[in-house]
Structures are given as C-alpha cells and as structure tokens.
Amino acid sequence: MAVIALAGCSGAPGVTTSALALLLSWPLAPGRRMILAECDPDGGAVPHGLLQGSLGDRYGLRNLSVAARKNEFSDAFWRQLIDLSSEDGKRESPRDRLLLPGITDPAQTASLGSVWKILAQMFRGIDAQTQHDVLIDLGRRGAYGPSGVLAEQADAVFVVVRNTLRCLQAAEGRVRTLEERVGDVGVVMIDEGPYPAGEVQRVLQVPVVATLPYAPNYARVLSDGVEQPRQFTRSPLMKAARMASTPLMQRAAMRRARLDPRGLRTAGGEVGRAR
C-alpha cells in the first residue's frame, strides 16, 4: 500500500503519460485497486488526451471545491472517479483502475485552496483503511505552492526526467527545491537522450529508481487517445511500466518505514466508503 507522487520539470518530461502507463499496467493483487489523481495546477491532460473530451464538466477535481465547503468531500470524491479498467485491454473487475480527472483551466486553481490539504489527508486515509494505492500526478509545478502538501504527505516522490541536456538542466533546480520540501526524492527516467542512468544520477545527485523507454507511438495512445496498436499492453512502454512498479513500491515502503518505524501512521480526515 502506498501513496506515490510524480512531479515534473520544464521540457515536457511526460509526467502524465508515465502516470497513466503505471496506472494501467500496475500489478494488482486480488482485491487491490489503484487511483490516479491528476493534481496539476496548470490543468489536467487526460480529459482532452486519452479521453478525447468525452467527460465535459461532469467529473473532475474542480467539483470537489464546492463539496469541501459543504463538508461533503468524502462522498463527492468517490463520485468524481471514473473507471479506466477497460483502457488497459485486460478483463478486470470494474473500478480496479480509477482516475480523478484534473482541472480544465488553470484559473480554476484559485478555488482549490482548501482542497489540496483535504486531498492529502484523504489519500493517506485511503491507503491506510481501504484496498487502494494512489498515484498523484503533480505536473510540472504541483510539488510547489499550496498543492505541494500532496508531495509532503506522499510515501515517496519521484521526478520524471528525460535524459536530454535540456531536461537535465531544468531538473537540477527542481530536484533541489523538492528535496528541501519533502526530503529524499527519486527519478523516473524517460530514456530519450544520450545520458545513461549513472550519469543522470551523478548530475542530479538522486537515484534513478526506474526507467521507461522513449516510445512516442505507444505514448500517444495515453497522451492523445490515438487508437491502440496491436499488442499495446505488451509494448516496451507498458512492460517497463509494469516492471517499474516494484522499485517504486520498495522505495515508498522503505521511506515509510524510516519515517514511521513503529507503523503508527494514521489516517487524517474523513475517508468514507469506497464506491
């Protein structure tokens, strides 16, 4: 059980695409479920990417601000989740892989001031009391400012970085700032450029915990909703995402054990009933 946050930097490193690949390929033990929450203050990418604008304003993070003011947050949270279980091409139980869509306009961020903290507490409660793991897509700047509480409360935080010169230069400052806020961080590397994982670790001074291939044809299925090619679930991208789940979970478990060695972590806020 874990709450894992993914953050980015400038240079379009592919945070949302990586998060979706992890969501749809994550191995789920019987009874386990996974939630991906789009918490990018610059706006979510999934509603108009993978989902091709099919949601309208019926679902999403923005709808939780009113619920927070009415003390109806928990019930509203479960109603805002949409089921992506069928998107991975496997036959699974309904609502195994769930998405909380992000905001559609950065201007909507102003109404979410109280939502970030409640969400952070909610995610910890979901992890502690129900059979859900949580992935948080923080986008390029979501680990800073008011929404940074989501990173602070996560079990582990990973910066998604492409191993190109432009992205590595942009990532250095982001990694240092994030370390100051949450402590140790790791890197999920998108293998587009010429620098091996060891060089990325040397430059950023944080470990490369997992590597995903640069596979634009497969990535566009997740980022833009293009038709899935044959055997998409067996593609190098999805295979690597599935393999990445193990080191990500191990790092989250180690960090949790170090910060809470007696296992006294408790859920904050109202969790409510999983729907």
- pLDDT of residue 177 exceeding 50, the answer is yes
- For residue 89, the model assigns a pLDDT of 53
- pLDDT of residue 268 exceeding 60, the answer is no
Mean pLDDT of the 89-110 span: 80
How far is the CA of 249 from the CAs of 50, 92, 186, 195, in angstroms? 25, 22, 12, 25
- For residue 221, the model assigns a pLDDT of 92
Query: Which of 176-180, 260-264, 270-274 has the weakest average pLDDT?
Result: 270-274
Query: Under DSSP, is residue 210 helix (H, G, I), strand (E, B) or coil?
Result: strand
Alpha helices in the chain (DSSP H): 15-25, 64-69, 73-80, 115-129, 149-153, 165-182, 197-204, 216-224, 236-259
Alpha carbon distance 175, 246 (integer Å): 22
More confident residue, 225 or 213: 213
Alpha carbon distance 222, 129 (integer Å): 30
pLDDT over 70, % of the chain: 89
Winning range, highest mean pLDDT, from 43-52, 87-96, 232-241 = 232-241
Mean pLDDT of the chain: 87
Alpha carbon distance 145, 41 (integer Å): 10
Query: Under DSSP, is residue 37 helix (H, G, I), strand (E, B) or coil?
Result: strand
Whether the full predicted model's pTM is greater than 0.85, yes or no, is: yes
- For residue 90, the model assigns a pLDDT of 56
- pLDDT of residue 207 exceeding 80, the answer is yes
- For residue 125, the model assigns a pLDDT of 84
Mean pLDDT of the 169-181 span: 92
Q: How confident is the model at residue 130 (pLDDT cuts 50, 70, 90)?
A: confident
- pLDDT of residue 36 exceeding 80, the answer is yes
Rounded to an integer, what is the distance from CA 60 to the centroid of its chain?
A: 15
Q: How confident is the model at residue 231 (pLDDT cuts 50, 70, 90)?
A: confident
Mean pLDDT of the 25-45 span: 90
Mean pLDDT of the 140-163 span: 90
Convert the pLDDT of each residue in 252-264 to its tens digit.
988 888 776 555 4
CATH of the domain spanning 3-259, picked from 3.30.540.10, 3.30.1200.10, 3.40.50.300, 3.30.70.1050: 3.40.50.300
Nearest residue to 156 via CA among 262, 244, 236, 88: 244
**Kind and range of the H or E run holding 188:** strand 186-191
Token pair 């700047």: residue: 141
Q: What number of CA atoms fall less than 13 Å from residue 137's CA on the CB side?
A: 29
